[in-house]
């Protein structure tokens, strides 16, 4: 893991870009991490939005200001990484199908082609990154996950180091990953926008029901995909505090 840039924010949070082989990433750490290791939260946006996407960066800095290391990467085909022809084709098909008013099951078929491979390609790189991050002296052994639901399911059922997850119910989850939800057993905070455009509410509620976690909480708020109220960041902070700091 090579750090290639470093920026200190006014609130003491240190923001560093890194590369790990071909993987570009960003790590945010609070000032307190220089005295003692802090828990880590892996932060991924639905469907592999770029690691410098402003809302993701804002959330990561907020998490770091709460005493966590926060990390994100550009997974294969995402952000600055070389694009995948298959994913580009699927995205073009999706746009065309939406403009044509295609039925939901046709859209779902395209989403399967798009999101399935994104998750399959992203998961091993996130775990490689996790290995490297856990070797840093600033980072302790408590690990949480935040954001992209489909990837979060895959990581949590694969890697027992991930101890708690806050998932955003606003992205397509491939059928195969929905079937894995029963094996997802860590504490879960599931965040739903009640009127999320294009993300069927009932499917999200069914997924919440399917998770195997004994402790799971659903927070639903009125509004569309990007309308999550600010107080949910505070609620998420307390969720991680309960599971990663106590």
Question: Which region among 77-85, 87-95, 167-175, 207-215 touches its own copies (by CB under 8 A)?
Answer: 207-215
The C-alpha atoms of residue 164 and residue 108 are separated, in whole angstroms, by 28
Comparison of 199 and 213: residue with beta carbon closer to its own copies: 213
The C-alpha atoms of residue 46 and residue 60 are separated, in whole angstroms, by 15
Q: Is 66 in the site for its own copies (CB under 8 A)?
A: no
Q: Is 238 in the site for its own copies (CB under 8 A)?
A: yes
Question: Which region among 24-32, 61-69, 77-85, 230-238 touches its own copies (by CB under 8 A)?
Answer: 230-238
Single out the residue of 164, 223, 226 nearest to residue 190, CA to CA. Answer: 164
Pick one of 46, 216, 236, 237: the residue that binds its own copies (CB under 8 A): 216
Question: Which region among 10-18, 100-108, 173-181, 201-209 touches its own copies (by CB under 8 A)?
Answer: 201-209
Q: Considering only residues 106-165, where is the footprint of its own copies by CB under 8 A?
A: none
Comparison of 120 and 232: residue with beta carbon closer to its own copies: 232
The C-alpha atoms of residue 189 and residue 219 are separated, in whole angstroms, by 7
Give the orientation angle of helix 104-134 with respect to helix 85-99, to 10 degrees. 140
Comparison of 2 and 214: residue with beta carbon closer to its own copies: 214
The C-alpha atoms of residue 42 and residue 45 are separated, in whole angstroms, by 10
Tokens of 8: 């200190």
């Amino acid at each position: 893991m090579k750090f290639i840039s470093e920026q200190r924010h006014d609130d003491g949070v240190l923001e560093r870009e890194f590369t790990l082989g071909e993987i570009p990433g960003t790590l945010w750490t609070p000032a307190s991490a220089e005295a003692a290791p802090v828990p880590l939260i892996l932060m991924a946006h639905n469907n592999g939005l770029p690691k410098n996407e402003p809302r993701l960066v804002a959330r990561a800095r907020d998490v770091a200001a709460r005493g966590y290391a926060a990390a994100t990467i550009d997974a294969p085909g995402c952000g600055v990484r070389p694009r995948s022809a298959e994913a580009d084709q699927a995205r073009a098909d999706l746009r065309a199908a939406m403009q044509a008013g295609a039925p939901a099951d046709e859209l779902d078929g395209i989403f399967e082609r798009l999101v399935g491979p994104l998750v399959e390609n992203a998961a091993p790189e996130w775990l490689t990154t996790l290995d490297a991050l856990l070797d840093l002296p600033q980072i302790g052994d408590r690990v949480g996950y935040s954001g992209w639901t489909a990837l979060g399911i895959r990581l949590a059922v694969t890697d027992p180091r991930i101890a708690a997850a806050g998932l955003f119910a606003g992205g397509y989850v491939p059928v195969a990953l929905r079937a894995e939800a029963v094996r997802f057993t860590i504490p879960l905070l599931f965040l739903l926008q009640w009127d999320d455009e294009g993300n069927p509410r009932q499917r999200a509620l069914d997924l919440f029901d399917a998770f195997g976690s004994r402790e799971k909480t659903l927070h639903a708020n009125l509004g569309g995909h990007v309308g999550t109220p600010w107080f949910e960041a505070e609620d998420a902070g307390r969720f991680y505090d309960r599971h990663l700091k106590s």
